[in-house]
Amino acid sequence: MTELISELQRERVYRLAASGTRSDGRTPEEVRPLTIEKNYIKNAEGSARVKLGNTDVLVGVKVELGVPYPDTPDSGVLSTGAELIPMASPYFESGPPRPDAIEIARVVDRGIREAHTIDFKKLCITPKEKVWICFVDMHVLDYDGNLFDAASYGAMSALTCTKVPASKIGKEDYPLPIQHYPVSVTAAKIRDVIVIDPNRQEEQIADARLTIATDENGDIRAMQKGLRGSFSYEEISRVIGLALKASEVIRTKIKA
Amino acid sequence: MTELISELQRERVYRLAASGTRSDGRTPEEVRPLTIEKNYIKNAEGSARVKLGNTDVLVGVKVELGVPYPDTPDSGVLSTGAELIPMASPYFESGPPRPDAIEIARVVDRGIREAHTIDFKKLCITPKEKVWICFVDMHVLDYDGNLFDAASYGAMSALTCTKVPASKIGKEDYPLPIQHYPVSVTAAKIRDVIVIDPNRQEEQIADARLTIATDENGDIRAMQKGLRGSFSYEEISRVIGLALKASEVIRTKIKA
Amino acid sequence: MTELISELQRERVYRLAASGTRSDGRTPEEVRPLTIEKNYIKNAEGSARVKLGNTDVLVGVKVELGVPYPDTPDSGVLSTGAELIPMASPYFESGPPRPDAIEIARVVDRGIREAHTIDFKKLCITPKEKVWICFVDMHVLDYDGNLFDAASYGAMSALTCTKVPASKIGKEDYPLPIQHYPVSVTAAKIRDVIVIDPNRQEEQIADARLTIATDENGDIRAMQKGLRGSFSYEEISRVIGLALKASEVIRTKIKA
Amino acid sequence: MEDVEHIEKKMKLIDENGLRLDGRKPEDMRPIRMEVGVLKRADGSAYIEWGGNKVLAAVYGPREAHPRHLQDPTKALVQCRYNMAPFSVTERKRPGPDRRSVEISKVISEAFDSVVFSEQFPRASVDIFIEILQADAGTRCAGLTAASIALADAGIPMRDLVASCAVGKIDGVVCLDLRKEEDNYGDADMPVAMIPRTGEVLLLQMDGHLTLDEFDKAFGMVKDAIGGIYEMQKDALRKRYAVTAEEFSDLPEQAPPERRAPPEREAPPEMPPEDGEVPQ
Amino acid sequence: MEDVEHIEKKMKLIDENGLRLDGRKPEDMRPIRMEVGVLKRADGSAYIEWGGNKVLAAVYGPREAHPRHLQDPTKALVQCRYNMAPFSVTERKRPGPDRRSVEISKVISEAFDSVVFSEQFPRASVDIFIEILQADAGTRCAGLTAASIALADAGIPMRDLVASCAVGKIDGVVCLDLRKEEDNYGDADMPVAMIPRTGEVLLLQMDGHLTLDEFDKAFGMVKDAIGGIYEMQKDALRKRYAVTAEEFSDLPEQAPPERRAPPEREAPPEMPPEDGEVPQ
Amino acid sequence: MEDVEHIEKKMKLIDENGLRLDGRKPEDMRPIRMEVGVLKRADGSAYIEWGGNKVLAAVYGPREAHPRHLQDPTKALVQCRYNMAPFSVTERKRPGPDRRSVEISKVISEAFDSVVFSEQFPRASVDIFIEILQADAGTRCAGLTAASIALADAGIPMRDLVASCAVGKIDGVVCLDLRKEEDNYGDADMPVAMIPRTGEVLLLQMDGHLTLDEFDKAFGMVKDAIGGIYEMQKDALRKRYAVTAEEFSDLPEQAPPERRAPPEREAPPEMPPEDGEVPQ
């Protein structure tokens, strides 16, 4: 079941975006208000509730003992999941994660894993035998657009306040070793107009989507294009620029 | 697919119940004929085939070696399942257990587990490492109402004749250590009338259901209310009384 | 979703078969051209791509370390799977294997296992602890009839070129110890006519199917009758004869 | 006999002064805080903090039930999905329904089924979603209590609010509203949901061991507690609508928040009726 | 070579007198007992004890096939579900279908498909449920044999009864009706189902190793056995209807047990036709 | 810092002469071979060998989308299923979709969605099946490239062909078309799919670490490569139709291979249009 939108609405949202003032009053280059509440869940080793406009995501990190993968015997393990629970939208259904949720989880996962966000070597207890496993569960509570970024901010915020429960094995708890702070920024292309942090209506009529994660040095750490439309090279470059610009204040909030 | 029943039938069954003589000739406080055949299955460590009226349930207990749960390292493990196989009713479907079957299994499970029916400490072989696991599988062969009680009687009867196959580990087989004999009795409320051990037709038109398990001391060991209707405090008390009264002869049959 | 075929086509295919010259020009006792390309997949320990007419099956064998079954502690393990992927026919669907695919996999599996095709004792490394597991995966790429035989030839061909990767545990790689070369031949009965190696159209209108696997000594190693029709004893005997006759040249190709 | 041994070994839950681990007396409840209208997308929603529990409830509907073959031509389906977030418990819970949550979803669905005027909405569904964000025993009671005010927030016509609380027995003493350690090491637990005004019991489960006298005592105790929760529910609803009114006066230009009109819905009873009259 | 070694190591299944583990001669079957009409809810049912096997079969239908998109507008679907109870085997079996039971369900469905006059019931299904309560080798034959008389009990119009038995080879000797140890350590197993009167083979599977001569011998042996089973099936059906008649005469006041009339069903052939004529 | 340590430990991927493990220069691609029309049953098909990758693509459609409730009344669904054979990778992959293949299927579906003239086929589906028979990094690019010519082979009307290639960074050097070891131990990987004539990017993913300059360099490099692949695609299609023509002249008596006519399909563009004109 997908949400349908009338041609009239579609035209209205496009016109607004094209005019430079979006349906919620923002400029095309403006991110919605972002609030981050860390340590929201006491049963989790790390957690954060993130509101990006009306989009509301709760992320919990559980750190448990486990066995490393055979090909990385001296590294901890990351396991990332996203659930688009039916509470968050009339168009989300219960059941196993659908492609949308899987794509979000995998993009966030790669953003953490491939960008070397965490020093996984420091999560090894006994090589080949015992390591810490980080389960990052992203729970979408209210959907009003741009889950990619909201989930990503939630995951990064939760990780930054995660304590490895080493006291369970007779050592001292220590913070998860974070090495980088990649920040993802998502743009939507509506016909010829590009806006960042699209809200739900904008997302519905968007032709294409582009997520760019950049780090504290201004380098690119991850990209993911979505939807049926296309981007030109110039458009991609412009989105990278917008992402770099928007990411700084967001990074400050995530690190806070 | 749920079974539909006409308004006419509904009215007829209610009238009969209200009159004090039910469609099958019983009084409201009367349980159907109960027969229990123990040790029905030679491949199981314990088993019983129970007929409660025309409701026919076969329960097998398999006792196998396994690992204890981390939080109860010196206790055996209980695993209870119910299958409403399509043989038993045109309205049962194959596939994974549905909520009805899960509720039955869980109520029976709690009735055994939380009522300390079995001394699970005596099923420990090596703490943290090796214990006996009891699989109680309730197989409904013919459905004519009141599966809660039929399944529960089957499970209790099978457990009372279960042998722990300790000869597999070089010791002597011994009977499963049973400590209590809780007996569940289920009542159906049809408008203002309460009957116990409802048959299929009564169950179909019942507004509410209440299962009470009581033990040999007259204490309550489990309760479960079901269906959309409600019970008043007085009605609950009355059902407790009916359950206590009916349970004695049933307990004798289960222990036999 | 099953393929439908018109009465007219049905009649035409039957007439041809009855006339002694089939729709593709073969005689009733003739197998389609068979080509076998071994070692097709370098990532597999053994593999073969088999074309039986236009039916195209790719079989890969992976040999991995694992634990033996408790009841055969000194034997390697065989695990056989068939996937009728939707690439191969408009009537194959994605999802878990359906009865058709399961039947093929199981018949091939029994043909290997029960015919003692492989000396599984020679796949034991440490009894009770470590053995080689052979995963035989049959991937149907193009379906034009008679998957039973095409899959079976693919499996046997892949096994005959499989190397046990013993170098992984510091020993020398060695070929999988093959003891027998059972060859399956499938016959279709269309009304009163029997043809072997049925093509897709013949399979669609067949009343009954009979697969016979025979070994290099002319003995029977497996049989499987399928579809709703029946065979008389005389018909079975005739199919056994046809199978014996056809199997020799096929066995030569498999061993090559 | 084994019970004695069991008690001897286990954690002491009541001290010499008759106080519980967190200093409560047997009849004391944990602190409760509830808020209505906390989600934007859902038709109705509520959040509850109940001791260490953090629970969200959302309601969608009445809306067309799907898949279609499940539709009831005579009434709306009232269906609840109770779900625990993977991080809500000490040991991570695998996502997706387990047998426990299937059972709880079933008994909560049944509890609301006769309270909602479902006959007004044939072929429709009223979908209740309860998410346990943080768990500390008593989650089904907290979820049911929150769901009840989320239903009211969604404007679903109901006979009355439903309120819920658990009672149990620890160290042989009947106590209200067990927390996790008390539930794990206690002797009995009995969650109850009622229509507080009429005393109709809509959910009742119990496991463990209660004598008849203990049951009577426990029932009386939990009935009183449920009365108190009912008052909190009404306060939370009043606060919500008061705030909304305020917002409206502050922002006269802005349209009211969009909400899909259910098919032929009666005017939503913003507040449950104070008298005992039950329509229909 | 490996076969020799295999035989040397394995359990001896036939003693010096040519007798099997349970004292049977090669051509002996295990004791069989069958009963028709053992379940109340099903349209037809039968119970069979066959050596250590205990098997129930039930039939529902002809009834509307569902889901609807599976309906065949030209004939009824004949579909069998073969299932093993978790406790029916030595090591507990996880509930639900495994690959083995899917295959067996398929070949049994096919065996009955041409025997039932399915063209009389378009869009309908005839559902056969076989439950293995206790297993001791030969369960598919036992189940098929029981299902056949359960179909007759349900009044499903059929060309004839189907009967089934297995034959195999142990210690190099062709033997009828293997039990579990014989099946596990034997050389070959071949389950067969036939229409006994016509000799039409409806189910045939074989694995292991048989020479052509052994196959001929085995086939002859199992054909005879199936003839005997056919007689037992007819006896069981006769007994059932005799008892029913008796019950009726004893209880003249009581209505006959309710049974859903299938759509436009022919009068059920209570007994298979004795002559070879096949109605259509 | 950690990156430095990481690099020090890991496999050296570029030698002192600036050459890669297999002797390639940074801007070199692996050998590619493609063939159109390799399967009999599918409406269109193609096979590609790309370095160590062996990939088949098949296309069915336009055909009625099912299940029906997924049909779009305004356009055809373009849906891709990317699947790895269990034996295609070093460690056996369990059959069935994992999260990785679900994501890849999604992004490939999206890449083709706007290229196919799907509005011509309401309620239909165009189904693309990509099977990875042997994997050596870059499988999604190889699959997409093959699927594009399989779509053309099936006669599906498209704006143009789509071509795809990956670019990455290893040992700090931007390199084209990584093979497996390079992907595993490299610093970044970026698969791209484009309409080569217009430069429209339809698929873009990247993970790892690229500076802005590196991204620009990588993008330019992959754009050129994609142009080359486009030429190979056209060659393969030309070869296919040349062969077909030849076959036809050799076998004048034989009817052309049967192919289901899609509903109201335009004449299939055997070759993508060379000019920039886009019909609609």
Per-residue model confidence as pLDDT tens digits over E21-61: 999 999 999 999 999 999 999 999 999 999 999 999 999 99
Instruction: Measure in Å the smallest separation between the Cα of A43 and chain D Cα atoms.
Output: 5
Residue F1 has pLDDT above 60, yes or no: no
**Which pLDDT score, from 0 to 100, does residue A60 have?**
98
- Each residue of A17-52: pLDDT tens digit? 889 999 899 999 999 999 999 999 999 999 999 999
- Each residue of A53-65: pLDDT tens digit? 999 999 999 999 9
The minimal CB distance from B41 to the residues E42, E96, E133 is found for E133
Confidence of residue F262 (pLDDT cuts 50, 70, 90): very low
Six token digits for residue E277: 């004529």
Pick among C80, C141, C203 to test the F interface (most F CBs inside 10 A): C141
CB F260 within 8 A of CB F124: no
Strand ordering across the sheet containing D124-134: D32-36, D44-50, D53-64, D124-134, D77-84
Residue E261 has pLDDT above 90, yes or no: no
Q: Rounded mean pLDDT of C106-122?
A: 93
Q: Rounded mean pLDDT of A189-198?
A: 96
CB C97 within 8 A of CB C83: yes
Across all residues in chain F, what is the average pLDDT?
87
Chain C CB within 8 Å of residue F204 CB: no
- Each residue of B232-252: pLDDT tens digit? 999 999 999 999 999 999 999
Question: End-to-end distance of chain D based on CA atoms, in angstroms?
Answer: 53
Residue B44 has pLDDT above 80, yes or no: yes
Q: Rounded mean pLDDT of F68-82?
A: 93
Classify domain F23-239 by CATH architecture: 2-Layer Sandwich (3.30)
Across all residues in chain D, what is the average pLDDT?
87
**Residue % of chain A over a pLDDT of 70:** 98
- CA-closest candidate to residue C194, choices C12, C28, C78, C21: C28
Within 8 A of D117 by CB-CB distance, chain B residues are none
Q: Rounded mean pLDDT of F173-189?
A: 96
Confidence of residue B205 (pLDDT cuts 50, 70, 90): very high
Q: For residue E149, how far is the Cα from the chain centroid?
A: 9
- Each residue of D132-178: pLDDT tens digit? 999 999 999 999 999 999 999 999 999 999 999 999 999 999 999 99
Q: Rounded mean pLDDT of C188-198?
A: 97
Q: Rounded mean pLDDT of F31-60?
A: 98
CB A159 within 8 A of CB A71: no
Residue E248 has pLDDT above 50, yes or no: no
* A12-15 long-range contacts, CB within 8 A, separation 24+: A13/A190, A13/A201, A13/A202, A13/A205, A14/A190, A14/A191, A14/A193, A14/A205
The minimal CB distance from A135 to the residues D41, D56, D86 is found for D86
Chain F CB within 8 Å of residue C54 CB: yes
Top-confidence residue, E162 or D248: E162
DSSP three-state, residue A98: coil
**Which pLDDT score, from 0 to 100, does residue B115 have?**
84
Strands D32-36 and C220-226 come out as: unpaired
Chain A CB within 8 Å of residue D92 CB: yes
CB contact under 8 A, E2 and C116: yes
Q: Rounded mean pLDDT of E56-71?
A: 93
- CA-closest candidate to residue C120, choices C83, C169, C66: C66
**Rg, Å, chain F Cα set:** 20
CB contact under 8 A, A230 and F105: no
Chain B CB within 8 Å of residue D105 CB: yes
**Which pLDDT score, from 0 to 100, does residue F246 have?**
56
CB contact under 8 A, D58 and A87: yes
Chain C CB within 8 Å of residue E211 CB: yes
CB contact under 8 A, F204 and A224: yes
CB contact under 8 A, F211 and A219: yes
With contact defined as 3+ CB pairs under 8 Å, the chains touching E are: B, C
Q: Rounded mean pLDDT of B19-32?
A: 93
Residue E271 has pLDDT above 70, yes or no: no
- In a 13 Å sphere around the CA of B35, the CA atoms on its Cβ side amount to 7
- Each residue of C66-92: pLDDT tens digit? 999 988 999 999 999 999 999 999 999
Top-confidence residue, D57 or E249: D57
**Which pLDDT score, from 0 to 100, does residue D245 have?**
57
**Which pLDDT score, from 0 to 100, does residue E247 have?**
52
The minimal CB distance from B41 to the residues E41, E129, E134 is found for E134
Within 8 A of C218 by CB-CB distance, chain E residues are 211-212
Top-confidence residue, D277 or A214: A214
**Rg, Å, chain C Cα set:** 19
Six token digits for residue B42: 């030679």
Top-confidence residue, A219 or D114: A219
**Which pLDDT score, from 0 to 100, does residue E205 have?**
98
Confidence of residue C220 (pLDDT cuts 50, 70, 90): very high
- b/e for E21-59, b at 16 or more Cβ within 10 A? beebebeebbebebbbbbbbbbbbbbbbbbbbbbbbbbb
Q: Rounded mean pLDDT of E124-130?
A: 98
Within 8 A of F114 by CB-CB distance, chain A residues are 207, 228-230
Kindly identify which residue of chain A lies nearest to residue D128, measuring between CA atoms. A87
Size of interface A-F (CB pairs under 8 A): 94
Kindly identify which residue of chain B lies nearest to residue E88, measuring between CA atoms. B43
Chain F CB within 8 Å of residue C43 CB: yes
Pick among E82, E112, E206, E213 to test the C interface (most C CBs inside 10 A): E206
The minimal CB distance from B135 to the residues E52, E92, E133 is found for E92
Confidence of residue A83 (pLDDT cuts 50, 70, 90): very high
**Which pLDDT score, from 0 to 100, does residue D243 have?**
64
**Which pLDDT score, from 0 to 100, does residue F23 have?**
96
Confidence of residue F68 (pLDDT cuts 50, 70, 90): confident
- For residues D51 and B1, what is the distance between their CA atoms, to the nearest angstrom? 41
- For residues F210 and F206, what is the distance between their CA atoms, to the nearest angstrom? 9
- For residues B211 and B189, what is the distance between their CA atoms, to the nearest angstrom? 11
Domain spans, chain D: 23-239
Confidence of residue E245 (pLDDT cuts 50, 70, 90): low
Q: Which range (A223-227, B133-137, D65-69) has the least confidence?
A: D65-69
Six token digits for residue B98: 């549905």
- In a 13 Å sphere around the CA of F76, the CA atoms on its Cβ side amount to 31
Pick among D114, D192, D205 to test the B interface (most B CBs inside 10 A): D205
Chain F CB within 8 Å of residue A179 CB: yes
- Each residue of D99-110: pLDDT tens digit? 999 999 999 999
Confidence of residue A68 (pLDDT cuts 50, 70, 90): very high
Residue E275 has pLDDT above 90, yes or no: no
Instruction: Measure in Å the smallest separation between the Cα of A250 and chain D Cα atoms.
Output: 23
Confidence of residue A3 (pLDDT cuts 50, 70, 90): low
Residue C181 has pLDDT above 60, yes or no: yes
Q: Which domains does chain C have, with CATH numbers?
A: 7-255 (3.30.230.70)
Residue D244 has pLDDT above 90, yes or no: no
Q: Which range (A7-16, C198-207, E35-44, E165-174) has the least confidence?
A: A7-16
**Residue % of chain D over a pLDDT of 70:** 83
- Each residue of C127-148: pLDDT tens digit? 999 999 999 999 999 999 999 9
CB contact under 8 A, C223 and E190: yes
pTM: 0.91
